[in-house]
Amino acid sequence: MRTINVEKITAEVAQMCKEAAYYLPQDVYEALKKGRETEESPVGQVVLDQIIRNSEIARAEDRPICQDTGMTIIFLEVGQDLHIEGGDLTEAINAGVAKGYTEGYLRKSVVAEPLFDRKNTQNNTPAIIYTKIVPGDQLKIELTCKGFGSENKGGIKMLVPADGVEGVKKAVLDIIQHASCNPCPPMVVGVGIGGTMDQAAYLSKRALMRKITERNAHPDYAALENELLGLINKTGIGPQLGGTTSALAVNIEWGPTHIAGLPVAVTICCHACRHSHRVL
Amino acid sequence: MAETIRITTPLKEEDSRKLRAGDSVLITGTIYSARDAAHKVMTEALARGEKLPIDWNNQIVYYLGPTPAKPGDPIGSCGPTTAGRMDAYTPTMLEQGIKGMIGKGSRAPEVVESMKKNGVTYFAAVGGAAALIAKSVKKYTVIAYPELGPEALAALEVEDFPAIVVIDSEGNDYYEIGQKPYRKL
Ligand code: SF4
């Protein structure tokens, strides 16, 4: 049986936090450049120039793309034949987050309790961790730093089957138009359709981990992604101060649901759509 | 877009009143950073009749919580945070003489009313352009509430800090004006 020591996991996660915070993924960078070419608003062009230049400075100088280095979300795929030794996996991941945020000069933005004390944990832990057990003996880690300017603008709608495709489009557009200039557009829009209320929300997050140049494997959902992107770019929101580049992509993930339901969740990500990946 | 306007702080009311939504500006001088926690502490102090740590008259507030500075740098990445979260405190703060606010995102109607009354301008810095904006910050000094960490009240010496007037002192809102021509739904 293959084994991995938790120390290795801690070290990798620490590195992944810094990578995500400093280096904008290439697909997002290219989409911004493409947006700049087609943007019709002169003010929008100025904003996009700043955003593109910003990501170049961050990459060249190892600096956080944004001061909100987010809450850390981790998607794990643990091979069922893998043995993790040397300690507690969750603790090892959080130790990695603490190390990465401290060594990397990232902002610590997590409070231990949400309502009464709101005391900062001072090391950005705990991370939110989703674990899936899969066949094989590998450990796949996907990490994202999720800023809350955009997170606060997400939403969920429990539609009924009769609402259909039109209902889904309307639900997504309502959430986006309500978010407007606030989530630092151009946005990347994650949509989760189906499952239960919580599952739809999870799927909308998961959708943001996919490359923005990659469409859903199901042709109907792929077409819906394209259609929604076209509609969002007609809202006028643009890159914060109006224009035609409101979103860079719409990524949909879907799952089986109940005969009576059609949950739709939207997670909005800003242009600082940051993630890093490892297979150990 | 029209020419870029250069602003030096302090910002007088008559100069603030000349700015129009959509103007591109470069700000030089001292601006003060404060966000949620500092606003809460300051408005509570005012309610108790206490004096604030700085005289806000003719000053510019920047809604910011930066990343920690790397050794040798004055500041870390330092883009704007969502201004709307400060709306509940803003009218009280504007009565203290603040003439400019820098943040991102829309504002409440009560804030815009208070801006008109006090001759205040709301500037947007580009959300998420935090490493770029850091280039214009020469010095960062914590003035009060150091216990708030990145939320402390601090003075920033800035040179050519890039911003855009989003809401002017007449209440014109560029988020609205800028979107309209491209809204085709
Ligand atoms: S929404 Fe994104 S780009 Fe905007 S401040 Fe938050 S993390 Fe930064």
Q: Are A130 and A15 in a shared domain?
A: yes
Q: Is A52 on the interface with B (CB under 8 A)?
A: no
Mean pLDDT of A252-273: 98
What 3-state class would DSSP assign to B162? strand
Q: Please tell me the distance from the alpha carbon of residue A44 to that of residue A49, in angstroms, as a whole number.
A: 9
Final residue of a structural domain among A90, A118, A146: A146
Check if A131 contacts B (Cβ < 8 Å).
no
The two tokens of residue A220 are: 């109907």
Q: Which pLDDT value is given to residue A101?
A: 98
Q: Are A117 and A162 found together in one domain? A: no
Question: Is residue A156, in this structure, part of any structural domain at all?
Answer: yes
Span from the CA of B177 to the centroid of ligand 1 (angstroms): 23
- Give catalytic residues of B, as residue numbers: 39
Residues with CB under 6 A from ligand 1: A 66, 68, 70, 147, 149-150, 183-184, 270, 272; B 79, 127-128
Domain check: are A129 and A90 in the same one?
Answer: yes
State the average pLDDT over residues B14-22.
Answer: 96
Q: By alpha-carbon position, which residue is closest to atom 8 of ligand 1?
A: B128
Are A170 and A241 in a shared domain?
A: yes
pLDDT in tens, A159-216: 999 999 999 999 999 999 999 999 999 999 999 999 999 999 999 999 999 999 999 9
Q: What is the mean pLDDT of chain B?
A: 95
- Domain boundary pick from A108, A125, A146: A146
ipTM: 0.92
Q: Mean pLDDT over residues B68-72, rounded?
A: 94
How many structural domains are present in chain A?
A: 2
CB-based burial, A181-201: b 16+ in 10 Å, e otherwise: bbbbbbbbbbbbbbbeeebbb
- Chain A residues with CB inside 8 Å of B78's CB? 67
Range of the domain at A112: 2-20+65-146
Judge if A196 and A138 occupy the same domain: no
Q: Is residue A232 part of a domain?
A: yes
Question: Which pLDDT score, from 0 to 100, does residue A169 have?
Answer: 98
The pLDDT, as a whole number, for residue B2 is 62
Check pLDDT > 70 for residue A55. yes
Number of the ligand 1 atom closest to the C-alpha atom of B128 = 3
In a domain, A32, yes or no: no
Q: Are strands B153-167 and A275-279 parallel, antiparallel or unpaired?
A: unpaired
Answer yes or no: do A180 and A227 share one domain: yes
- Half-sphere exposure (CA, 13 Å, Cβ side) for A269? 31
Q: Quick: pLDDT tens for A3-46.
A: 999 999 999 999 999 999 999 999 999 999 999 999 999 999 99
Contact list, B133 vs chain A (CB under 8 Å): 54
pLDDT number for residue B148: 87
Residues 6+ apart with CB under 8 A from B147: none
Mutation choice for A interface testing from B3, B24, B67, B156 by most A CBs within 10 A: B67
Task: Tell me how far the alpha carbon of residue B128 lies from the centroid of ligand 1, in angstroms.
Answer: 5
Question: How remote is the CA of residue A83 from the centroid of ligand 1, in Å?
Answer: 38
Helix A6-22 with A89-103: angle, nearest 10 deg: 40
User: Which residues, numbered 102 to 161 in chain B, qualify as contacts with chain A under a Cβ-Cβ cut-off of 8 Å?
Assistant: 104-106, 124, 126-135, 149-150
pLDDT attached to residue A273: 97
Put simply, whether A237 touches B (Cβ < 8 Å) is yes
Residues listed for chain A: 280
Q: How far apart are CA B115 and CA B113, in angstroms?
A: 5
Domain boundary among A123, A146, A169: A146
Quick check: is A155 in a domain?
yes
**pLDDT at residue B1, as a whole number:** 53
In whole numbers, what is the pLDDT of chain A averaged over residues? 97
* Third-level CATH fold of B5-182: fumarase (3.20.130)
Q: Are residues A113 and A159 in the same domain?
A: no
pLDDT of B92 > 60? The answer is yes
Q: Let me know whether A180 and A263 are in one domain.
A: yes
Place of tokens 């009060």: B144
Which residues from chain B sit within 8 angstroms of residue A53, using beta carbons?
129, 132
- Cβ-based contacts of B67 with chain A (< 8 Å): 64, 67, 69, 105-107
User: Whose C-alpha lies nearest to ligand 1, atom 3?
Assistant: B128
The residue in chain A having the minimum alpha-carbon distance to the alpha carbon of residue B180 is A236
Nearest chain B Cα distance for residue A150, angstroms: 10
Using pLDDT thresholds of 50, 70 and 90, give the confidence band for residue A129.
very high
Q: Flag whether A280 is in a domain.
A: no
Positive or negative torsion for Cα A151, A152, A153, A154: positive
Banded model confidence at residue B3, pLDDT cuts 50, 70, 90: confident
Q: How far is CA A160 from CA A164, A171, A182, A251, in A?
A: 8, 12, 29, 22
CB contact under 8 A, A152 and B79: no
